[in-house]
Amino acid sequence: MADSYFRKGAEVEVSSDEEGFRGAWYTARIIKPPPKSTKNNTKVLIEYKTLMADEAGLKPLREKVDLVQIRPPPPRESNRSFQFSDEVDAYHNEGWWEGVVTALLDNSRYTVFFRTTREQIEFRQSDLRLHREWVSGNWVPPLENEGVSPTEEVKTSKATVKEKFSKGTIVEKMSPAAEVKTGKAMAKEKFSKGTLVEVSSDEEGFQGAWFAATIVKAVGKDKFLIEYQSLRTDDDTEFLREEIDTLHIRPYPPETVMIDRFNLLDEVDALYNDGWWVGVISKVLVGSRYIVYFRTTSEEMEFSHSDLRPHHEWIDSKWVQGSRVIEMSSNA
């Protein structure tokens, strides 16, 4: 970890595991930095800027959080306008919550849909920012008119304790099934019958997971009938079919081959209950086994190497993983 980043007083954003706060990032500053040696996941003492410890709102809340819950404050364009299906962070209840723009209103106002709560809320343009992921010391996508420096020294959140390009290097290749755009591009492009995709669900007990499925047919302007590849009907006679809107569909992630092993703090998807659940490696065990921490449930579970894959995010029509950005064109 870069000492220059985890210094006392450094401004950061922190994700919370508390019920009702999951899925948001809150501004804070570091009170006590972690030790230089980080063989296992360590705690950092932080002080929130907007969350208070007393009802009078005079005493800022302090708490110890894991390194995997901390990242630098993301950059932000000044006076940026947004388009339909843009992935954004919306400032709400003292924190930044990830959502999707679903409507453009008058007077620079927007309607934003939140997958975690299934709510749609209206926001002013000044209360929105483009959603970005902190990947190996870089913000993806970068600030407009700004390049991504591969030699950035700061590493936290999704960065690992060790360099990605030494032991445990990732080799990636595009899966033919991942050639169809979704996310922002879904408003313009359609999936064809038989396309392999991944689908998220808002149902209780399934939030935070992605399930493999195939497109059966389009059933509306922004809806598709899909057939799951692992979820079956209650009588177990056939695979479950369901109508899903475009906000819950993405291309199937690129096929990724892990040469050696995962490292501490690597963000991964873990195969559990027929779906892929995003988590973070909190401990590396012997025998190619790992303890994975899940922010959405505050749980830790043990997995074998074969049940994990490097986590990818579909951002701005690109697959983002580790220090790689995979851009797919219509001619991919």
DSSP characters over 124-141:
EGGGEEE--EEETTEEES
Q: The tokens of 236 are what?
A: 């177990």
Q: The tokens of 264 are what?
A: 């501490």
Q: The tokens of 173 are what?
A: 């290749």
Q: How far from the centroid of its chain's Cα atoms is residue 147's Cα?
A: 22
Q: The tokens of 327 are what?
A: 């851009």
Which sign, positive or negative, has the C-alpha torsion 309, 315, 317, 321? negative
Q: Which of 33, 284, 263 is nearest to 159 (CA)?
A: 263
Q: Is 75 helix (H, G, I), strand (E, B) or coil?
A: coil
Q: What is the pLDDT along the chain (332 residues), one digit of tens a residue?
A: 444 567 888 899 998 767 677 778 999 999 988 776 655 557 889 999 998 888 887 899 999 988 878 889 998 888 889 988 788 999 998 999 988 888 899 999 999 988 777 788 999 999 999 998 887 677 878 886 544 333 333 333 333 333 333 334 333 433 333 333 334 444 334 578 888 999 987 777 777 789 999 999 988 778 899 999 988 888 888 999 999 888 888 888 877 665 578 888 788 899 998 899 988 888 889 888 999 988 777 788 999 998 998 888 776 667 776 433 333 433 33
Q: Are 252 and 198 in contact (CB under 8 A)?
A: yes
Q: Is the pTM for the entire model greater than 0.85?
A: no
